[in-house]
Structure 1
Amino acid sequence: MKKASLLMIIGPLFLLGLYVFPLWNIMLGAPQYPDPLGLNIHINGLKGVNEFDIQNIDGLNHYIGMHTLPKPEDMWEFGTFPMIIGFMVALGVLIGLLGYLNKISYKWFLGWFVLMSVLGILGMYDFNEWLVDYGTNLDPNAIMKLTNPDGTPMTYKPPLLGHVKMLNFDVTSMPSTGGWLMFIGMMLTLTAGFMGWQKTKKQ
């Protein structure tokens, strides 16, 4: 089970990319912005794709009553997520090392993958809840109060994944470099579990 264990050691290390690269990216394009406005979501805060993107997004949001984008100290997630990722990396590497020494079975590899998947789903749920609040909890005294054809207040929730048209803006939300690195790392650990299972089955 040496090869499987090596994959189990390498896979979680890909998550370290989340400390360098953004997890997610949201882009806003409109005719008045030849260069789209962009927002990179890191595990420890938000950053504009370009220098003044956050300032410009907050300026636009002010007119329709949306909150300003949160700073790291405004959301507990930005303090907690880096610790969770660090723990999962350390745990994954430890499991891989113990597997290499034949101290544990491949089931631990799959257990890490399941735990990381559950944490990822919870993180996406939390992110989506923030998007809902961000796009629907509007200031009643906003300069612009737009409504849907049925008379209900218009909401501005960005998509969790994919593209949506909001007013004259095209909004696209997709995983970024850190998100893809995390996905690769998780697939490596899943492969490690499968290889370990095959090895055990042959024996």
Structure 2
Amino acid sequence: MSKKLSVPSMVLLIVAAGLLFLSIFFPWWGMKFYAPQYPEGLDIIVYPYKLENENDVAIINGLNHYIGMKEFSEENFPELNYLPYLIGGFAIITLVVGIVRNKKLLYGLLGLFVIGGILGVYDIHRWLKSYGTNLDPSAPIDVDPFVPPVLGHNTIANFVTNSYFTTGTFIIGLAFILMIIPLWKDRAQ
């Protein structure tokens, strides 16, 4: 029983490494806020290295002030400083595993990938919980603490929020599928 992956599996892993690197340049997660005064919605779009839609973020921060929520800003999310390097590191490790073609290394890589994904979703949840439950008690409008969902919708006062994964996350998902295929494809080896 060979522990070497096939050449087609090697190609899949190299493509997966490229996709991981590419995902850095696309948004991974977003939250859209709807209210009667903003029927078109306001967006917070999160890339691995920045928040996008500064005008919408400023409006959301102005509105959140009324319920005592701290401001959204890139400075408040230190992950944005190192996440691109972490993903780049995963891309390099995936490339190396593909070139070396070692099945045991692929199992280890997939384990790291799953752990990283779980930690990433936990981190988003942790920030949402922090923002929704650490409200300033002296805020003009008193609302009960809340935790916006990582994925899905939530209603607070007259605001409906929709949280969603976007392009970068789908690219990461495709990379993960390409990383799993060699285990199935080369299972008899």
CA distance in 2, matches of 1:40, 1:156: 21
C-alpha separation in 2, matches of 1:169 and 1:41: 20
TM-score (norm 2): 0.91
Residue matched to 2:148? 158
TM-score w.r.t. the length of structure 1 is 0.85
1:132 offset after TM fit, Å?
0.3
Q: Which runs of no fewer than 5 residues in structure 2 stay unpaired?
A: 1-5
2:110 corresponds, among 113, 120, 126, to 113
**How big is the shift at 1:144?**
1.1
Match status 1:31 vs 2:31: no
Which of 164, 168, 171 aligns to 2:158? It is 168
**Structure 1, unpaired ranges of 5+:** 147-153
- Identity across the alignment (%): 33
Partner amino acid for 2:133?
T
Match for 2:46: what amino acid?
I
Match of 2:119 among 113, 118, 122: 122
Report the number of matched residues.
184
Distance of 1:156 and 1:129 partners within structure 2 = 12
Residue 63 of structure 2 is aligned to residue 64 of structure 1: no
Q: CA deviation at 1:134?
A: 0.5
Instruction: Report the aligned-residue RMSD.
Output: 1.4
Superposed CA deviations along residues 70-125 of structure 1, whole A, max 9, x for unmatched, are: 32x333211221111011000101110111xxxx3x23223212211101101111
Q: Which residue of 1 aligns with 2:26?
A: 21
Tell me which amino acid in the other structure corresponds to 1:177: T
CA deviations 1:107-165 (Å, max 9, x no partner) are 3223212211101101111111111001110112211113xxxxxxx124321111122
Asked whether the 8 Å contact 1:26–1:173 carries over to 2, the reply is: yes
| Contact 1:12/1:189, CA 8 A, preserved across alignment | no
How far 1:182 moved relative to its partner?
A: 0.4
Match of 1:43 in 2: 48
Answer yes or no: is the 8 Å Cα contact 1:65–1:142 preserved in 2: yes
Instruction: Report the counterpart of residue 55 of structure 1 in structure 2.
Output: 58
Tell me the equivalent position of 1:151. none
